[in-house]
Structure 1
Amino acid sequence: MRHETGGVVPLSVQVALGASHLIVAIIQGIIAYRGGRGRLPRNHWIGFRGTRSLSSESAWIHVHRRAAPLTWVSSAVAFFTGGAIILLDGSSEWLILTTTLAADSAIIILMIIAWKVGHQGLPDS
């Protein structure tokens, strides 16, 4: 008995999925670069935004400097995943799906850990 392994993902879907990962990588890279140098302005749109990190300029800088290394790693995962998805032309749906799910899970886990590491050493408000 032959088992169906899934169809081929259209190139347009692969490019869109890969491009979205590359955009995430760029945004995370900006956060890591500027945040690691204490040059990411405190705001309500980008960065590790929470009650404690937004409480003061020094808290904001502290969180982003400590979180920068893991944010860089997460950015690299997103970058290489985006490139791989685009280059896997003609690949099965299952390969694209498992690659995307594994990488996105890693990105989320890395960012949660970065959040926790960033907030270590902040005084409770």
Structure 2
Amino acid sequence: MLVGVNALSIVVAVLLLALAGLWAVVGVRGLRGSLERNRWFGVRADETMRSEEAFRVANRVAAPGMLGSSSILALGAVASLAVDSAWWILFAGVALVAALVIVGLVSGLAVRAAATVPVEEAGCSCCSGHEEGGAGHEHTPTGGETPSDPAADCGTSSCGACSLKGICSGENAQA
């Protein structure tokens, strides 16, 4: 029987359960290797986003921690509903902090694992057979114009990949 349940504890428990559900889905899909590279879910860092294989490896490494954090959040939500008085705040807060610490730790391990995945150098796919930096090596975006700023198309298409090698990582890719 639920004792001492108030509206705020119910809202906090629902939020904890929603986060637990999200991390459980990400954890299961990461463990199965079915989580596709995306901008919103999973471990996302320069090392993990450089290839599908690096993303898959990173999320497979992080999956057990995600599932453990999900369990901690679910237990914290249930405990916050089941206790009397203001103790629910302590249970919810400890569960949230513990889950965030675990996710942070396994994400760091996952990034390190992704960094060990060899990078496949595919060369320049948009240059119609020209070698990188060679004569006639021009990238023409739609409209036939040669861009004056090579970083202008950063992340928008594969054209410009040769001249942008290394430029699109870090803060520019996240903006």
Q: TM-score range by the shorter chain?
A: 0.7 to 0.9
Q: Which residue is 2:20 aligned to?
A: 25
1:97 equivalent to 2:92? Answer no
Q: Deviations over 1:22-74 (max 9, x none)?
A: 10110000000001111011111111111211111001000000111111110
CA distance in 1 between partners of 2:42 and 2:99 (Å): 15
Task: Determine the structure 2 residue equivalent to 1:3.
Answer: none
The corresponding residue for 2:58 is: 63
Q: Which moved more, 1:115-124 or 1:71-80?
A: 115-124
**Which has the higher Rg, Structure 1 or Structure 2?**
2
Q: TM-score, normalised by structure 2?
A: 0.60
Matches within 5 A, 1:66-81: 66-81=61-76
Cross-structure match for 2:128: none
Task: Tell me the distance in 2 between the aligned counterparts of 1:10 and 1:87.
Answer: 7
Counterpart position of 2:110: 118
Q: How big is the shift at 1:122? A: 2.8
CA RMSD of aligned residues (A): 1.7
Q: TM-score normalized by structure 1?
A: 0.83
- Offset of residue 103 of structure 1: 1.2
2: CA distance between counterparts of 1:97 and 1:15?
11
Structure ranking higher in helix proportion: 1
Letter of the 1:15 partner, please give it. Answer: I
Contact residue 5 and residue 81 of structure 2 kept, 8 A: no
Identity, in percent, stands at 22
Aligned match for 1:36, one of 24, 31, 35: 31
- Structure 1 residue 121: deviation in Å? 3.0
Q: Secondary structure at the match of 1:121?
A: helix
Aligned residues: 114
Cα distance in 2 for partners of 1:116, 1:71 equals 12
Gaps in structure 2 of 5+ consecutive residues:
120-175
Q: Distance in 2 between matches of 1:30 and 1:58?
A: 20
